[in-house]
Amino acid sequence: MKTKLDYLKQMGLEDILPQTIVDKIKIETYKKGDMIEMEAFHQGKSWKILEGVVKVTLYMGHGKEYFAEFKEDEWIGVASNLLAVNVTVDIEAKTDTKLLSIPIKEMIEKHPDAMIHLWEKIARGSAMEFIRFLGGSMAKAVLTNEGYFLNYLSQNDREIKFGNTKELSELLNTNLRTLQRIIRKLKEEGIIEKTKNKIWVIDEAAFEGALEEQLEVM
């Protein structure tokens, strides 16, 4: 089993970070469904996902919610620390998950020389967070429910795994009955197939045509 130092060595940081920071870096493990930290982004931390998938939900002051899923080797909490954005956040483990927790804010403020070696990774992580949240919120705003579902399916390699349909409806921020209607329609058209915990594309050409048709109405 890899240790904290193994992961830091893999990232090229083992001999660069001051010991005070190394001591504060933690490996955190969570079971599927665990809430990771309600006030996570207010504590100056960022996380590198070592294993698993997490769902991050942002609750904005005007009552809107935005969410995105992040996978292994991606970062979360980066943009918040760089921009000092004051939002309420939930982080949920969608699968059994292992994270590397790093005190990014303290590194930025107290150890700028050590941060030089993380900036490229941090910049990529920040950009990915922004793209996920912005892309998801814009798609939801301009696409129909069917178009949003098809777009989500496309972005996930044309295959979605989930616990149950209600869980999937919450993930897509789509009414359960509406989602069931969309799935039934696409199955009847021979575009997708569905089992209890999985949806996948079975007709690539028809899928491309349906997605293109939806995108044309944007």
User: Which of 127, 129, 44, 130 has its CA nearest to residue 84?
Assistant: 44
CATH assignment at residue 182: 1.10.10.10
Model confidence at 100: pLDDT above 70:
yes
Q: What digits encode the pLDDT tens for the residues 187-196? A: 999 999 999 8
Q: How many domains does the chain have?
A: 2
Residues 6+ apart with CB under 8 A from 40: 77, 89, 91
Residues 25 and 71 reside in one and the same domain = yes
Q: Which one of 85, 115, 140 terminates a domain?
A: 140
Q: Are residues 61 and 150 in the same domain?
A: no
pLDDT level of residue 207 (50, 70, 90 thresholds): very high
Identify whether residues 68 and 170 lie together within a single domain: no
Residues 6+ positions from 69 with CB-CB distance below 8 Å: 53, 54, 55, 56, 94, 132, 171
| 69/23 same-domain check | yes
Give the closest residue to 118 by CA, choosing from 4, 8, 217, 1: 8
Residues contacting 61, CB < 8 A, separation 6+: none
- Residues 135, 39 within the same domain: yes
Tell me the whole-structure pTM to 2 decimals.
Answer: 0.60
Say whether both 42 and 95 belong to one domain. yes
Last residue of a domain, one of 118, 140, 162: 140
Least confident of 46-50, 165-169, 190-194: 165-169
Report helix, strand or coil for 46: strand
Identify whether residues 190 and 99 lie together within a single domain: no
Q: What is the pLDDT confidence band of residue 4, given thresholds at 50, 70 and 90?
A: very high
- Say whether both 48 and 79 belong to one domain: yes
Same domain, 89 and 22: yes
∠43-47-53 over CA atoms, to 5°?
125
| Gyration radius from the chain CA atoms | 19
Q: Is the pLDDT of residue 105 over 80?
A: yes
- The residue among 140, 156, 174 that closes a domain is 140
Closest by alpha carbon to 105, among 89, 83, 138?
83
CA separation for the pair 25, 13 (Å, rounded): 12
| CA dist 148 → 26, 126, 143, 176, 195 (Å) | 37, 24, 6, 14, 20
Cα–Cα distances in angstroms (integers) from residue 196 to residues 114, 162, 167, 192, in the given order: 48, 9, 12, 13
Could you tell me if 87 and 177 lie in one domain? no
* CATH number, residue 51: 2.60.120.10
For residues 28 and 123, membership in a common domain is answered with: yes
Q: What is the pLDDT of residue 163?
A: 86
Structural domain range at position 75: 4-140
Same domain for 108 and 196? no
